Amino acid sequence: MTTLGYALFATRWLQAPLYFGLVAAQGVYVYKFFSELWKLVAHVISGQVDETHVMLAVLKLVDVVMIANLLIMVIIGGYETFVSRIGLQGHRDQPEWLSHVNSNVLKVKLATAIVGISSVHLLQMFVDVHHTPEHDLLWGTVIHMAFIGSALILAYMSGPMNAHEHGAKAHTKGGDPAPHPGAPEPGARPSGDDRGRSSGDAEPYGDGEDRYGGHGDPGAGREGRCGGLDRARGHGGDDASDEAAPTLVLPRPAVPERGVPEQRANGYGGAGQAASGTEARIAAAGFPARKELEAFDATRLRAPDPLVLDRLGRLDFVARRENVVFLGGPGTGKTHLAVALGVRACEAGRRVLFAPAPEWGARLRRAKEAGRLADELAALDAYALLVVDELGYVPFDPESANLFFQLVAHRYERASLIVTSDRPFGRWAEVFGDAGIASATVDRLVHHAEVVTLEGESYRARGLAGAAVGGWPGLDG
């Protein structure tokens, strides 16, 4: 930006005194509210008012409060949009609407607030209809309907404008970039031994290293699941609410043509089609099971603060192309949270890909062996969010460790990662087999990241100690 550009941009601070002036106006309305309230109480105590007058006085108080609310939206939302960021992210009292405020949202909210204020004024007229001229009633109704029409038009126009804005962000600020020419179709299965395997041929697998084919190559015998990142439906890894029973690997549902879900997610084609696009993205992501952030029981954990999870649920880290790392022991809910955030990203129109760490290593290793590693990394740029689950349960072989570092380095400040691990960063050298690669990976992963440590007992092991000591009901005697 040139010096002239900086100077012009700095002129936005000329608006700051205007917002402080509105703060003073807010103080005037506070004085007005308590003045009217004092008059009402005094009249009620003296018995000088009837029910109609009480209702009119209360409506006047409501009117003052609604105008004060309108001022708050203009002061906070306008300052945040046109002057400077306030930086309330994570604050427990952050208004819900402020996390996604922009000029379009602000205009619609102001329009609806004005409609509400006009409704109160019109109600005051009808309550006091015997003392209100017909001329005032007529024009009050006409003006109110004009406000309603204006709000409807603004709301209608804000849909395409928001869709256009989100589309621009997706191409310029780490959203869903256009798929790379060499990118595989979501849900497609690569060529290999497993390509023609039917669901009936898929072997069951349980927890630990056996899930990835024993102690050998974690990608061996899982070509289809690694290339297409198919996962066992119902197996939750470190999920806080999954059972540990073995399950079968099921084929992934077919995914509609590329581009169609993206248009539907932006609102073109109706709510039903948008929902269809969301479901297609969730199916293509390869989640082990569908999890919701609202279903996560954070009260059983000593850390983190639930407000941290609420902040992550707004997906600001995806828009900023930052990462999230969940660290904690088995059964603390790392996979649940990773999947839940991935599902939210899909619902927000983002493309997501999920797989355990060994599968990512195997996928990259096959790409390198085929001489297309650069194309594979570029193809993954089509996904705004990659989820790497269970880093540490199965150590990387030296080649996979190096390739995983290349994946992290490639997405650094370009797109987001969610990584879950049962080991603190100081022990990642055990996973990578090389302290230098582990240190370099952590350095790039956490530079722009939210690191969340889950502290608590395993969800799956609750009650296990008591059962081991006291026995199971019904087996005594």
3 state SS of 460: coil
Angle at alpha carbon of residue 160, lines to 157 and 166, rounded to 5°: 130
Using CB atoms within 10 A of its CB, is residue 409 exposed (0-12), middle (13-18) or buried (19+)? middle
**Which pair of structure tokens corresponds to residue 368?**
């390198």
Residue 102 pLDDT level (bands cut at 50, 70, 90): low
Q: State the amino acid at position 431 in one-letter form.
A: V
Has residue 469 got a pLDDT over 80?
no
- Cβ atoms of 375 and 190 within 8 Å: the answer is no
Is the pLDDT at 117 greater than 70? The verdict is yes
pLDDT at 188 over 90: no
Which residue is associated with the tokens 């310029």?
172
Calculate mean pLDDT across residues 436-452: 94
Mean of pLDDT over the chain: 75
- Between 1 and 348, the more confident residue is 348
- Cα-Cα-Cα-Cα torsion 113, 116, 120, 125, nearest 10 degrees, comes to 110
Higher-pLDDT residue of 42 and 271 is 42
- pLDDT score of 246: 36
Q: Per-residue pLDDT tens for 421-438?
A: 999 999 999 999 999 999
Q: Residue 345's pLDDT is what?
A: 95
Task: Average the pLDDT over 198-214 and give the result.
Answer: 36
- How high is the pLDDT of residue 473? 46
Give per-residue pLDDT as tens, 296-310.
Answer: 888 778 888 888 888
Predicted confidence (pLDDT) at residue 234 exceeds the cutoff of 70: no
- The answer on pLDDT for 260 being more than 60 is no
**Per-residue pLDDT, 286:** 95
Closest CA to 74 of 26, 115, 14: 26
Q: Would you say residue 127 has pLDDT above 70?
A: yes
Q: How far apart are CA 304 and CA 89, in angstroms?
A: 16
Q: Is the pLDDT of residue 249 over 90?
A: no
Q: Decide which of 428 and 87 is more confident.
A: 428
Give the helix/strand (H/E) hosting 113.
helix 103-127
Which residue matches tokens 């009260």?
299
Asked if the model's pLDDT at residue 472 lies above 50, the reply is no
Q: Tally DSSP H helices, then E strands, for the chain.
A: 18, 5
Give the DSSP H or E segment for 341.
helix 334-347
Whether 195 shows a pLDDT value over 60: the answer reads no
> Tens digit of pLDDT for each residue in 311-361?
999 999 999 999 999 999 888 899 999 999 999 999 999 999 999 999 999
Instruction: Give the tens place of pLDDT for each residue, 5-62.
Output: 888 888 989 999 999 999 999 999 899 999 989 988 988 888 877 888 888 888 888 8
- pLDDT above 80 (res 211): no
CA contacts within 13 A on the Cβ side of 440: 16
Choice among 113-122, 135-144, 202-211, 380-389 with the minimum mean pLDDT = 202-211
